[in-house]
């Protein structure tokens, strides 16, 4: 006889604590089975078989498994196409319901529609919840009911609406006895899914209060250890955005604003779907005639432009998967405003390299740099690499360190 379970599907929320959909699944059902799918639709597009992000995810899954085993439960990890995996699960178990957290990216929306159809055909409800942002879609809107397109007024309304209702944690631990009980299931190795272990040292997910307290004064200086390095944890949900906002409210408003930018770009993606289809936020800017010199682009990718701050940033990206935010703006401006290369080329390159790659933030940042995004200052904003170096790396500490790579 098939066992009866309720499935909780991990996606970009790789933690047991303060997890919205997991909380609702545990609170409303018995025998909650946590699963994760290494999605072939995504993995098949990754050319680097030592992709740092896959190693990071794999490590996070082992952390979750260790916690689940202590609760006499287990994670089940699958490798394949989600449609096939869910058909396997429906044969293996009597599935009462499926729970997951919202994902706003174009592929994720398409994937979830397909899974919803399969589940509906079997009379199985699919419940999804907001988890990776504080405010989503049209929760923050202008007085006329339209979404904001400029960050500053959006952030003001965001802060006005914020209350403890939006930042309180989901106490999943209260309902941990509702987890499906079974012996530990072996997780597939990276080799099993066609990948190799990356030797990247991942940053800690511990919130360093001393860094956040000084964030306003020091964040623009790439040679300093002055940024939280939490972006990869926020991206894959190994830390709760609610926990992070609680800390930011106590420690530093500038840091809070960076978290609000995340919500802003997810909101833009949800309300202006053309940006998820390779188009400029401002349609007129799709008519730009770019130079698109392939040799210049290759030099930019390899950190060989001859502009030290640009090359240092690109070498950092290639070697570590990390690039300081100030340097991201400099390198993006250089590609689009100096080399006159289509921002989509840079967006795609960052997508293959960034450890914290997030579609909405990456797209929003590139359109901001190119001047075609949701911002009041378009084509005339240029980051002069020499002036930026004078301001933020005057003694060349960052440049000297990275140019050795």
Exactly one of 158, 300, 345, 366 is catalytic; name it. Answer: 366
258 is a catalytic site residue: yes
368 is a catalytic site residue: no
Please, what is the angle between helix 253-271 and helix 241-251, to 10°? Answer: 140
Helix, strand, coil percentages, rounded to 5, for the chain? 50, 10, 40
- Report yes or no: 205 and 232 within 8 Å, Cβ to Cβ: no
80 secondary structure, DSSP code: E
Whole-angstrom CA distances from 157 to 56, 141, 142, 160 are: 35, 8, 8, 5
Exactly one of 9, 343, 345, 368 is catalytic; name it. Answer: 343
66 is a catalytic site residue: no
- Report yes or no: 36 and 10 within 8 Å, Cβ to Cβ: yes
The CA distance from 377 to 152, in Å, is: 13
Whole-angstrom CA distances from 318 to 130, 331, 333 are: 33, 13, 18
Exactly one of 136, 139, 290, 318 is catalytic; name it. Answer: 290
158 is a catalytic site residue: no
Exactly one of 19, 158, 252, 258 is catalytic; name it. Answer: 258
The CA distance from 29 to 304, in Å, is: 56
Which residue matches tokens 């401002």? Answer: 282
Q: Which residues pair with 372 in a beta bridge?
A: none
- Report yes or no: 309 and 316 within 8 Å, Cβ to Cβ: no
366 is a catalytic site residue: yes
Q: Please enumerate, as own/partner, the contacts of 219-223 that have beta carbons within 8 Å and a separation of 24 or more.
A: 219/254, 219/325, 219/326, 220/326, 220/391, 220/392, 221/326, 221/392, 221/393, 221/398, 222/313, 222/324, 222/326, 222/327, 222/392, 222/393, 222/398, 223/393, 223/395, 223/397, 223/398, 223/401
Of 154, 263, 245, nearest to 207 by C-alpha is 245
261 is a catalytic site residue: yes
Whole-angstrom CA distances from 63 to 66, 283, 313 are: 5, 45, 31
- Report yes or no: 131 and 20 within 8 Å, Cβ to Cβ: yes
Exactly one of 19, 252, 257, 261 is catalytic; name it. Answer: 261
The DSSP secondary structure of 138-162, one letter per residue, reads: TSSB-TTSPBP-SHHHHHHHHHHH-
Residues tagged active-site: 258, 261, 290, 325, 343, 366
């Amino acid at each position: 006889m098939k066992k009866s379970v309720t499935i909780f599907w991990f996606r970009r929320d790789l933690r047991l604590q303060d997890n919205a959909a997991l909380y609702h699944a545990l609170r409303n059902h018995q025998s909650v089975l946590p699963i994760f799918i290494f999605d072939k639709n995504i993995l098949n597009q990754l050319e680097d078989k030592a992709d740092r992000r896959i190693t990071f995810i794999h490590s996070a899954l082992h952390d979750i498994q260790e916690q689940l085993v202590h609760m006499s439960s287990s994670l089940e990890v699958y490798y394949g196409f989600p449609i096939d995996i869910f058909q396997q699960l429906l044969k293996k178990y009597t599935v009462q319901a499926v729970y997951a957290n919202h994902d706003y990216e174009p592929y994720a929306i398409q994937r979830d529609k397909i899974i919803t159809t399969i589940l509906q055909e079997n009379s199985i409800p699919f419940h999804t919840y907001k988890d990776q942002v504080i405010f989503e879609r049209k929760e923050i809107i202008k007085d006329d009911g339209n979404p904001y397109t400029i960050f500053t007024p959006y952030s003001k309304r965001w802060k006005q609406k914020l209350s403890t209702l939006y930042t309180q944690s989901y106490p999943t631990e209260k309902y941990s006895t509702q987890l499906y009980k079974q012996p530990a299931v072996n997780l597939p190795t990276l080799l099993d899914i066609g990948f190799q272990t990356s030797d990247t040292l991942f940053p800690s997910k511990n919130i360093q209060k001393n860094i956040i307290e000084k964030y306003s004064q020091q964040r623009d200086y790439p040679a300093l250890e002055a940024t939280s390095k939490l972006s990869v944890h926020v991206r894959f949900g190994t830390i709760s955005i609610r926990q992070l906002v609680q800390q930011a409210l106590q420690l530093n408003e500038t840091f809070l604003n960076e978290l609000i930018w995340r919500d802003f770009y997810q909101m833009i993606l949800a309300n202006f779907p053309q940006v998820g289809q390779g188009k400029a936020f401002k349609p007129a800017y799709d008519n730009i005639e770019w130079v698109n010199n392939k040799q210049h682009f290759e030099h930019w990718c390899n950190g060989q432009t001859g502009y030290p701050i640009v090359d240092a940033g690109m070498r950092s990206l290639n070697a570590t998967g990390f690039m300081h935010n100030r340097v991201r703006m400099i390198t993006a401006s250089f590609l689009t405003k100096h080399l006159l290369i289509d921002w989509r080329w840079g967006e795609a390159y960052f997508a293959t390299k960034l450890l914290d790659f997030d579609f909405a933030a990456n797209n929003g940042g590139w359109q901001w740099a190119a001047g075609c995004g949701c911002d009041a200052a378009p084509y005339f904003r240029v980051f002069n690499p020499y002036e930026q170096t004078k301001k933020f790396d005057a003694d060349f500490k960052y440049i000297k360190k990275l140019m050795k790579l």
